[in-house]
Structure 1
Amino acid sequence: MSDHRNQLRQLIRQRRRLLSQEQQNQAAHNLVDQCMQQAFFQASQHIAIYLSTDGELNTQPLIDALWNAGKSIYLPVLHPFSQGHLLFLHYQKETPMTLNKFGIREPKLDQRLIIPATELDIICTPLVAFDSTCQRLGMGGGYYDRTLAPWFQTKVGATPIGLAHDCQHVDAIPTEAWDVPLPSIITPSQLFTAK
């Protein structure tokens, strides 16, 4: 099972990286349109999102649109003491940034900027591949799985929403017994919802 998941990760990451800059720009623009017309985005005030890396859908235009709509944005930060967990910090244009151990930009740790995940409305979740039932294949580190575990058990608190390129859609994700689908995944062209 894990071999199949790893092969799928490599295939889809390569597919994503082969998108041209023009395709990336158009996808990011279309994602903004898709997200901003969703009632759950319109009704949410505290939204966690991630900065793109490795060919992921560029989230900066969405962040800018959400800022312009008066929303508060939070970015994930690798937890300094609880390995494998994330913190979420309030993010503004002037927030000091640093690179984490994966080379991903994140806000410099400042306890005054931390928001408990339970107080977020939406946690936009990165993924490598997904299927029509909203099963998600992540990078394999389990950061978001651990962060979202309370929601998966209770369906209370911040709602996880996957963001992905259309080319990351596959027929079926090989799942384990503990895998729980996301309630929704948004691509530049459509909204997928868990059955």
Structure 2
Amino acid sequence: MGTSDQQLKKTLRAEALARRDALDVRWRIEASLAMAETAEALAVTPGTIVSGFWPMRSEVDVRPLMAALGAAGARLCLPAILDRTTIVFREMARGAPLVDMGYGTQGPGPDAAVLEPLMMLVPLAAFDARGHRIGYGAGYYDRAIAALRQRGVAPRLVGVAFDCQEVARVPDEPHDQPIPEILTESGLRRLGADL
């Protein structure tokens, strides 16, 4: 990817995050709660390992959705940053203590079991209708998804964002892991890589 594409990604990320930050706080809370009501549409079978994320700044708060999925029998996990390039997914057990994970997030401590999610709720800064996403620039999720696939695990990827984070087109790179589904306040929709 050339320098102009990298600059475009940086600009698209900043613009999408500015739109997200401008959303009314109460509205964001209500939209996050409404997204939790779509848990049934995700059709998660009991025992399915689902990774979520602890919300940062103005992100969608997926904790109500995770609680609904957990009530439906899913096993829940959250990402833990191990080093500058690697995240793992630690089991989030009811009543287990959470520890500071940096960036204002929390998650299960090092004693929690490391799980391989079969469904991943993926945070993002921006996305397009083809299923390409812009993360926060560190590439943790792209590497984690690639590592799971190398081990024969093909997780269902569901991006979670607000509608205002959609952009016309994300410049894609060979290492990018497209997301086939996106959950926003408008509902769950399939994204097509052929657009």
Aligned-partner Cα distance in 2 for 1:104–1:122: 20
Q: What letter is aligned with 1:90? A: E
Aligned to 1:25, the other structure's residue is in SS state helix
Q: How does 1:130-145 map to 2 (within 5 A)?
A: 130-145=127-142
Which among 10, 28, 34 is matched to residue 30 of structure 1? 34
Deviation of residue 156 (structure 1)? 4.2
In the other structure, the counterpart of 1:114 is: 114
Which among 15, 22, 25 is matched to residue 18 of structure 1? 22
Aligned to 2:18, the other structure's residue is in SS state helix
Aligned to 1:100, the other structure's residue is in SS state strand
Q: What letter is aligned with 1:48? A: S
Q: What letter is aligned with 2:183? A: I
The two structures, once aligned, show a CA RMSD in angstroms of 2.1
Cα deviation 1:170-194 (Å, max 9, x = unaligned): 1111222433421212112131323
Distance 1:153-1:185 versus aligned 2 partners, 3 A rule: farther
Aligned-partner Cα distance in 2 for 1:38–1:46: 13
Give ranges in structure 2 of 5+ residues lacking alignment.
none
Distance 1:93-1:17 versus aligned 2 partners, 3 A rule: farther
Aligned-partner Cα distance in 1 for 2:47–2:178: 21
Aligned-partner Cα distance in 1 for 2:130–2:149: 15
Aligned-partner Cα distance in 1 for 2:150–2:109: 31
Larger proportion of helix:
1
Aligned-partner Cα distance in 2 for 1:151–1:161: 15
**Does residue 98 of structure 2 align to residue 101 of structure 1?**
no
**Does residue 160 of structure 2 align to residue 163 of structure 1?**
yes
Deviation of residue 152 (structure 1)? 6.0
Deviation of residue 85 (structure 1)? 0.8
Aligned-partner Cα distance in 2 for 1:97–1:72: 16
In the other structure, the counterpart of 1:3 is: 7
Aligned-partner Cα distance in 2 for 1:113–1:129: 31
Aligned to 2:182, the other structure's residue is in SS state strand
Q: How does 1:146-185 map to 2 (within 5 A)?
A: 146-150=143-147, 156-185=153-182
Cα deviation 1:79-137 (Å, max 9, x = unaligned): 1xx53111111113322122223232122211x5222x2xx220111110001111111
Aligned to 1:37, the other structure's residue is in SS state helix
Distance 1:43-1:171 versus aligned 2 partners, 3 A rule: farther
Give ranges in structure 1 of 5+ residues lacking alignment.
none
TM-score normalized with structure 1 length: 0.86
Aligned-partner Cα distance in 1 for 2:151–2:80: 24
**Does residue 89 of structure 2 align to residue 75 of structure 1?**
no
Distance 1:18-1:10 versus aligned 2 partners, 3 A rule: same
